Amino acid sequence: MTSPAASRRVAAVDCGTNSLRLLVADVADDGTLTEVDRRTTIVRLGQGVDRTGELAPDALERAFAVTREYAQVIKDLGVEATRFVATSATRDARNRDVFFDGIRAAIGVEAEVISGDEEAQLSFRGATGPMSATHPGPFLVVDLGGGSTELVLGGSTPEAAVSMDVGSVRLTERHLHTSPPTADEVAAARADVQAALDAATTGPGGVPLGRTTTLVGLAGSVTSVTAYALGLREYDRSRVGGAVLTVEETLGACERLLAMSRDERLALGFLQPLRADVVGAGALVWAEVVRRVRDDVAAAGGELTHVVTSEHDILDGIALSIR
């Protein structure tokens, strides 16, 4: 009789441009991950970074306050090891040392500012593990954040990856200033995303989107689009995670969310206020990615008909990386 694999309890913290997230999990020696606690809080750390190049004092304080809450959860659950990862907003900020000092004081570990490439690798590992037995590869994993969007293509392991400087917060602050956005604002934002996709998919370092068999979307903008497409009034992770939508359903939901005012989005019932502000831009990015992948797959002689949403993402990858 085989003995069960030994495990230890770890905590993964992901501090992005828009949200601060925690996963506490038991990770076995064989790589099996069992979730204990998972939570997300919108803190908008990247407020104004695209314009000023610095983290705003009130954004920092929001992040520090939530980190102190997470530190208490980690203590109460008996976590043995914690990894705190920061991504796009902190990579771009001149005053990142203020962030480092505050996080160290709040949670007792050092914040790591990881590269876009490592962010992509961790997202791929976290997302594809649970679905590798149910969906065929190659997978294109799209981690659509507030400040950047990562594209990672691979089968059992990543084979090509790129990080694009387009995301829900960055595009909202750069272009989508009215509610609902004007046609000129939308056109400018689309042009940014299309240019980023052109750069991400050409040349020796480009990701060959046409090889995609299963397109997987991660993070708050994608899960919000999925919740809307499913007609949810309250967010239900069990229904959103693993949901399979047609390309047409996905694009239609994206376009409707983009065209809404902030108040109309809030009335949907499942969006936090700081998500409702930026989800239109996130939906725009997701729609452009889905269209580009569909078209590139068709040009390669294939057909992309469906899109998969994953609730497993960089947090799972971070937890699995803890040694």
Residue 5: which pLDDT band, with cuts at 50, 70 and 90? low
Beta strands 19-28 and 33-42, pairing class? antiparallel
Q: Are 139 and 155 in contact (CB under 8 A)?
A: yes
Evaluate whether residue 321 is within a structural domain. Answer: no
Evaluate whether residue 320 is within a structural domain. Answer: no
pTM, two decimal places:
0.84
Evaluate whether residue 23 is within a structural domain. Answer: yes
175 shares its domain with 260: yes
User: What tokens were used for 159?
Assistant: 């084979």
214 shares its domain with 250: yes
Q: What is the pLDDT of residue 314?
A: 87
Rg (CA), the chain: 19
Evaluate whether residue 118 is within a structural domain. Answer: no
186 shares its domain with 294: yes
- CB neighbours of 72 closer than 8 A, spacing ≥ 6? none
106 shares its domain with 188: no
Per residue in 27-54, pLDDT (tens digit) is 998 878 899 999 999 888 888 877 888 8
Q: What is the pLDDT of residue 222?
A: 95
55 shares its domain with 183: no
Q: What Å distances lie between residue 186 and 126, 146, 179, CA to CA?
A: 32, 17, 11
69 shares its domain with 141: no
Evaluate whether residue 79 is within a structural domain. Answer: yes
- Asked if pLDDT for residue 2 goes beyond 60, the answer is no
d(CA 237, CA 65): 25
Q: What is the pLDDT of residue 217?
A: 95
d(CA 170, CA 186): 14
User: What's the mean per-residue pLDDT of the chain?
Assistant: 91
- Asked if pLDDT for residue 316 goes beyond 80, the answer is yes
d(CA 44, CA 52): 15
Question: How many domains in the chain?
Answer: 2
Q: What is the pLDDT of residue 181?
A: 95
Q: What is the pLDDT of residue 88?
A: 66
Evaluate whether residue 193 is within a structural domain. Answer: yes
**Looking at 47, 80, 113, which one is the last position of a domain?**
113
Per residue in 107-138, pLDDT (tens digit) is 999 999 888 778 878 888 888 877 777 898 89
Average pLDDT over residues 187-196: 96
* Percent of the residues in the chain that have a pLDDT greater than 70, as a whole number: 98
Q: What is the pLDDT of residue 301?
A: 96
141 shares its domain with 283: yes
Q: What is the pLDDT of residue 239?
A: 94
Average pLDDT over residues 247-274: 93
CATH (domain of 43): 3.30.420.40
* DSSP-assigned states of every residue in 78-94: T-SEEEEEE-HHHHH-T
Residue 72: which pLDDT band, with cuts at 50, 70 and 90? very high
Evaluate whether residue 124 is within a structural domain. Answer: no
Phi, psi for residue 260 in degrees, rounded to 5 = -80, 155
Q: What is the pLDDT of residue 274?
A: 80
68 shares its domain with 163: no
Neighbours of 262 (CB within 10 A): 16
State the residue range of the domain holding 303: 131-315
Q: What is the pLDDT of residue 4?
A: 57
136 shares its domain with 107: no
171 shares its domain with 88: no
Q: What Å distances lie between residue 35 and 22, 39, 65, 256, CA to CA?
A: 11, 11, 24, 34
174 shares its domain with 262: yes
Evaluate whether residue 282 is within a structural domain. Answer: yes
184 shares its domain with 281: yes
CATH (domain of 272): 3.30.420.150
Which of 22-26, 123-127, 188-192, 254-258 has the weakest average pLDDT? 123-127
Please give the single-letter amino acid code of residue 74.
I
**Looking at 113, 148, 175, which one is the last position of a domain?**
113
- Asked if pLDDT for residue 214 goes beyond 50, the answer is yes
- Across 10-19, 38-47, 102-111, the highest mean pLDDT is recorded for 102-111
* DSSP-assigned states of every residue in 263-308: HHHHTTSS--HHHHTTHHHHHHHHHHHHHHHHHHHHHTT----EEE
Average pLDDT over residues 76-82: 97
d(CA 131, CA 120): 17
- Asked if pLDDT for residue 288 goes beyond 90, the answer is yes
- Asked if pLDDT for residue 1 goes beyond 50, the answer is no
Q: What is the pLDDT of residue 84?
A: 96
